[in-house]
């Protein structure tokens, strides 16, 4: 899968102005966005997911335009088929682990208690069965991370985006979960873009490295 | 800033020496008593008439609960009798000062009933009368309707109003198709309502006035009562359609 | 409790419940529409919509009477097309009470929706949910306590509605004479005993509602 990003966005708040100007391409299985906090990595990933709209530019995945300001194309987030693991996991606090994971499959206006086999399979593959009826507030940091990952994977995305997936965890847990992630990704066969400010992550993930500084790709 | 306070301190006592005479009068006396009050003030500079208009029963309730009222003018003897019984008025000052007629009104463009019985017609979906529990005009109307054996029949159409002026307003607005008010009230809205007929009542519609026992300005209050009964006062009342008592 | 008090009480419960339901539907919809972004236009809109809360009830009642009355903008239309009038009806009382109470739900709804973590709504979107699904499955389940607290306050306000109701619906015993109006009429008629029993009922109802609302708001802070 090849992803091409070429976007610009200006953000202004009370104290300063931030100019995002990201341009990169990748056909690697793993792409790492590496840089300090505030560099613009999360913004880029949210734009790829369709949750914020760039001022102008293009985003294409396998030559299908997800966003193209020149041609007024802006595919809605829900149609982009992109899984997203947020920095603080954003698990639905009012739903059980199972309901969280099955969220994408359970369509409709109500949160159902019963879920289908697909969701259960995803849950089993990540060894989360035991936690099926637990609520996010009952889980540890590491457990939450894995549930967030399972939830994103259960939506059968063709691209996975992860925003600092280990930043809330201690280093031992971090190493273990990173290895797990690499393994899970390989089994699922889905390309992923990972955001990190940790040098060890960069070494472990390999793949294509994109350094980000002050809203642009730095070489 | 200090100078301003001094100025006020000088002004206030001057004003306080003038009498504030609080006159609680039936709603139907709104226009006439406002004018009488002004004329009285012109003749007695320094006295200030504070008028308080509402249904007679409501006014009596206020007096009973200790409201600082000097003069009470009611739209029926019954309410004044109650005031006398509970020792709220100086009986020696009680005097009838006007009388009125109860009329049946309809909106200007509405069908006029030829007789009271016509009110049972479904055309008169809403008939406004003062709430008999607290408004003399409502009691007069209920008395007349009961005598005509209509009271129970037209119950579903009755819309009770808080005072006779509200009943008038309902008809003027077209929300009620007919209503019972005093002839004097109908006059005030003659572009919007029409008098269909005068309604005879077995109890004559007579207005008594009296000074309250709790008045702090008894002399000024008595002077006001005298003014209402004087040629000047009576002329104003006649202007607004009231008859002699 | 005298049997006299039952009729106004039941009528009040009926009017207040319907008014709260009506106000809730409109309040939740508008609360969502106003959204979490505090732009100038949206703040002005919210202020205008909150007007019934600060207007003197008689002013509100007067304007309702003018608009819903036979010669009014809406009243005339209703008369011409349906042959009905809302004046002197319990339906009119419901309208008056719902307009008086609705700002309480609007504010509660807007605040509750804003309190919901935007990240959660984004997560729902990224998982394929349409905006409606996001609202019903993510936003509303997390905001309902705050909204319900607002609805309880609205219900209490609707139960106590007096000025606007009196002007629009009148005080017709058995039809539009709610508890507040019945108390007023009883006092004016000199029937203090009747007034007192109804006052006690109203007080108890108001206190119970306030306690419920406070409990709901407390639990909301813990989730």
> How do residues C89-131 score in pLDDT, each as one tens digit?
999 999 999 999 999 999 999 999 999 999 999 999 999 999 9
Chains touching chain B at 3 or more Cβ pairs under 8 angstroms? C
pLDDT range class, residue B6, cuts 50, 70, 90:
low
Work out the mean pLDDT of chain C and round it to a whole number: 89
- In C, which residues are within 8 Å of A93 by CB distance? 120, 142, 223
Structural domain including A99 reads 93-156
CA B3 to chain C, closest CA, distance in angstroms equals: 37
Among residues A113, A138, A156, the one where a domain terminates is A156
The predicted pLDDT at position A195 comes to 94
Same domain (yes/no): A26, A8: yes
Using the Cβ of A84 and the Cβ atoms of chain C, whether some distance falls under 8 Å is answered with yes
| Class of residue A130 by CB neighbours under 10 A (exposed 0-12, middle 13-18, buried 19+) | exposed
**Given this model, what pLDDT does residue C210 score?**
83
B152 band by pLDDT with thresholds 50, 70 and 90: very high
Check pLDDT > 50 for residue B17: no
Burial of B127 from C-beta contacts in 10 A (0-12 / 13-18 / 19+): buried
Considering the segment(s) C3-222 as one domain, its CATH architecture is Orthogonal Bundle (1.10)
- CA–CA gap between residue B235 and residue B225 (Å, rounded): 14
Angle at A174 (CA atoms; ends A171, A176), nearest 5 degrees = 115
Chains A and B touch (3+ CB pairs under 8 A): no
pLDDT, residue B18, reads 67
Of C179, C178, C171, C34, nearest in space to C114 by CA? C34
Residues forming a β-bridge with B130: B161
Q: Do A142 and A195 fall within a single domain?
A: no
Is residue A190 over pLDDT 60?
A: yes
Is A100 found in the same domain as A45?
no
Q: Is residue A86 part of a domain?
A: no
Whether A135 is covered by a domain: the verdict is: yes
First to last CA, chain C: 41
Which of A109, A134, A156 is at the close of a domain? A156
Does pLDDT of B2 surpass 80?
no
pTM of the model: 0.80
CA distance C18 to C30: 18
Both A181 and A212 in one domain: the answer is yes
What is the 3-state secondary structure of B143-171?
Answer: HHHHHCCCCCCCHHHEEEECCHHHHHHHH
Residue A116 reports pLDDT greater than 80: no
| pLDDT value of position C222 | 47
| Joined tokens for residue B210 | 């009296």
Predicted pLDDT of residue B7: 53
Average pLDDT score over residue span A110-126: 80
Check residue C95 and give its pLDDT: 95
Report if residue A121 sits inside a domain.
yes
Residues of chain C with confidence (pLDDT) below 50? 1-2, 222-223
Strand partners, B106: B178, B194
Q: Which residues of C touch B158 (CB under 8 A)?
A: 172
Q: By percentage, how much of chain A surpasses pLDDT 90?
A: 55
The ipTM estimated for the assembled molecules is 0.91
Query: Is residue A213 domain-shared with residue A105, that is, in the same domain?
Result: no
Q: Which residue has the higher pLDDT, C31 or B18?
A: C31
Per-residue pLDDT at B15 exceeds 60: no
Cross-chain residue pair C65–B131, CB shorter than 8 Å: no
- pLDDT, tens only, B67-84: 889 999 999 999 999 999
Q: Do C142 and A51 touch (CB under 8 A)?
A: no
pLDDT for C125: 95
Neighbouring-strand partners of residue A34: A196, A211
Stretch B122-146: mean pLDDT: 93
pLDDT of residue C3: 57
- The answer to whether the CB atoms of B162 and C88 lie below 8 A apart is no
The chains in contact with chain A, meaning 3 or more Cβ pairs closer than 8 Å, are C
Average pLDDT, chain A: 90
B5 pLDDT more than 80: no
- Our CA-based measurement puts residue A150 at a distance from the nearest CA of chain C, in whole angstroms, of 12
Cα C81 to its chain centre, rounded Å, is 27
A107: pLDDT confidence band, cut at 50, 70 and 90? confident
* pLDDT for the residue numbered C70: 83
In a domain, A5, yes or no: yes
Mean pLDDT value of segment A123-137:
88
Residue A34 has pLDDT above 80, yes or no: yes
Q: Do A152 and A61 belong to one domain? A: no
Tell whether A56 is covered by a domain. Answer: yes
Q: Among residues of chain B, what percentage have pLDDT more than 70?
A: 93
Would you place residue A54 in the very low, low, confident or very high pLDDT band (cuts 50, 70, 90)? very high
In a domain, A87, yes or no: no
A67 and A126 in a common domain: no
Q: Which residues does chain A have within 8 Å of residue C220's beta carbon, measured at their own beta carbons?
A: none
Q: Are residues A138 and A190 in the same domain?
A: no
Domains of chain B and CATH, by start: 2-99+206-239 (3.40.190.10), 102-199 (3.40.190.10)
Query: Is A71 found in the same domain as A164?
Result: yes
Give the distance between the most distant pair of CA atoms in chain C. 67
Question: Can you give the pLDDT at residue C71?
Answer: 83
Contact C119 A88 (CB under 8 A): yes
Q: Please classify residue B82 by burial: count the beta carbons closer than 10 Å to its beta carbon, then call 0-12 exposed, 13-18 middle and 19+ buried.
A: middle
Residue B13 has pLDDT above 70, yes or no: no
Of C85, C172, C190, Cβ closest to residue B61: C190
Flag whether A52 is in a domain: yes
CA atoms within 13 A on the CB side of C116: 32
What does the pLDDT average to over B55-77? 92
**pLDDT at B14 exceeding the cut of 50:** no
Q: What does the pLDDT read at residue C58?
A: 85
Q: What is the average per-residue pLDDT within B99-110?
A: 92
Is residue A41, in this structure, part of any structural domain at all?
yes
CA B168 – CA B28 distance, rounded (Å): 10
Segment B212-226 shows an average pLDDT of: 93
Structural domain count, chain A: 2
Closest CA to B124 of B145, B147, B143: B145
Q: A145 with A174, same domain?
A: no
Domain end, chosen from A109, A128, A156, is at A156
pLDDT confidence tier of residue B219, bands split at 50, 70 and 90: very high
């Amino acid at each position: 899968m090849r992803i091409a990003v070429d976007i610009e966005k200006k953000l202004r708040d009370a104290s300063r102005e931030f100019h995002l100007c990201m341009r990169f391409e990748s056909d690697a299985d793993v792409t790492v966005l590496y840089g300090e906090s505030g560099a613009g990595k999360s913004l880029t990933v949210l734009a790829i997911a369709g949750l914020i709209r760039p001022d102008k530019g293009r985003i294409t995945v396998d030559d299908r335009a997800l966003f193209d300001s020149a041609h007024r194309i802006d595919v809605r987030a829900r149609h982009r088929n992109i899984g997203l693991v947020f920095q603080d996991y954003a698990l639905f606090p009012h739903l059980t682990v199972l309901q969280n994971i099955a969220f994408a499959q359970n369509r409709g206006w109500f949160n159902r208690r019963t879920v289908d086999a697909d969701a259960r399979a995803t849950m089993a593959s990540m060894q989360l069965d035991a936690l099926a009826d637990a609520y996010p507030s009952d889980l540890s940091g590491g457990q939450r991370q894995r549930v967030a990952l399972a939830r994103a994977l259960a939506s059968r995305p063709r691209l996975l985006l992860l925003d600092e997936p280990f930043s809330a965890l201690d280093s031992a847990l971090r190493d273990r979960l990173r290895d797990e992630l690499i393994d899970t990704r390989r089994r699922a066969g889905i390309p992923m873009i990972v955001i990190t400010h940790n040098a060890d992550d960069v070494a472990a993930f390999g793949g294509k490295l994109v350094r980000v500084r002050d809203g642009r790709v730095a070489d | 800033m200090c100078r301003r306070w001094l100025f006020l301190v000088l002004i206030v006592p001057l004003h306080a020496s003038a009498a504030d005479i609080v006159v609680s009068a039936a709603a139907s006396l709104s226009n006439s008593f406002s004018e009488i009050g002004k004329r009285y003030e012109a003749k007695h500079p320094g006295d200030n008439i504070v008028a308080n208009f509402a249904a007679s029963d409501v006014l009596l309730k206020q007096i009973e609960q200790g409201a600082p009222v000097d003069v009470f003018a009611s739209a029926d003897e019954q309410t004044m009798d109650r005031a006398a019984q509970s020792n709220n008025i100086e009986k020696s000052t009680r005097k009838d000062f006007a009388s009125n007629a109860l009329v049946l009104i309809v909106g200007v463009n509405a069908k006029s009933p030829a007789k009271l019985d016509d009110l049972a017609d479904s055309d008169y979906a809403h008939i406004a009368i003062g709430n008999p529990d607290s408004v003399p005009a409502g009691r007069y109307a209920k008395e007349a309707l009961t005598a005509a054996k209509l009271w129970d029949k037209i119950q579903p159409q009755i819309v009770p109003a808080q005072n006779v002026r509200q009943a008038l307003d309902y008809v003027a607005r077209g929300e009620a198709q007919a209503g019972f008010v005093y002839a004097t009230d109908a006059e005030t809205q003659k572009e919007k309502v029409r008098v269909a007929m005068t309604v005879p009542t077995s109890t004559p519609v007579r207005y008594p006035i009296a000074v309250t026992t709790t008045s702090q300005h008894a002399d000024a209050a008595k002077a006001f009562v005298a003014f209402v009964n004087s040629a000047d006062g009576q002329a104003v009342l006649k202007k607004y359609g009231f008859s002699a008592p | 409790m005298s049997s006299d008090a039952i009729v106004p009480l039941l009528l009040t419960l009926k009017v207040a419940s319907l008014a709260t339901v009506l106000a809730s539907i409109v309040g939740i919809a508008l609360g969502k529409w106003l959204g979490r972004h505090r732009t100038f236009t949206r703040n002005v809109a919210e202020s205008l919509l909150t007007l019934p809360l600060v207007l003197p009830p008689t002013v509100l009642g007067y304007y309702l009477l003018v608009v819903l009355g036979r010669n009014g903008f809406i009243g005339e239309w209703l008369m011409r097309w349906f042959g009905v009038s809302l004046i002197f009806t319990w339906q009119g009382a419901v309208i008056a009470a719902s307009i008086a109470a609705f700002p309480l739900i609007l504010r509660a709804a807007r605040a509750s929706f804003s309190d919901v973590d935007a990240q959660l709504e984004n997560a729902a979107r990224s998982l394929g949910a349409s905006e409606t699904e996001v609202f019903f499955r993510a936003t509303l389940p997390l905001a309902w306590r705050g909204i319900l607290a607002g609805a309880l306050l609205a219900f209490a306000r609707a139960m106590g509605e007096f000025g606007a109701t009196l002007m629009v619906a009148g005080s017709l015993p058995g039809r539009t004479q709610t508890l507040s109006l019945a108390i007023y009429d009883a006092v004016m008629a000199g029937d203090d005993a009747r007034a007192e029993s109804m006052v006690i009922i109203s007080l108890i109802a108001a206190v119970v509602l306030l306690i419920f609302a406070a409990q709901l708001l407390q639990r909301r802070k813990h989730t």
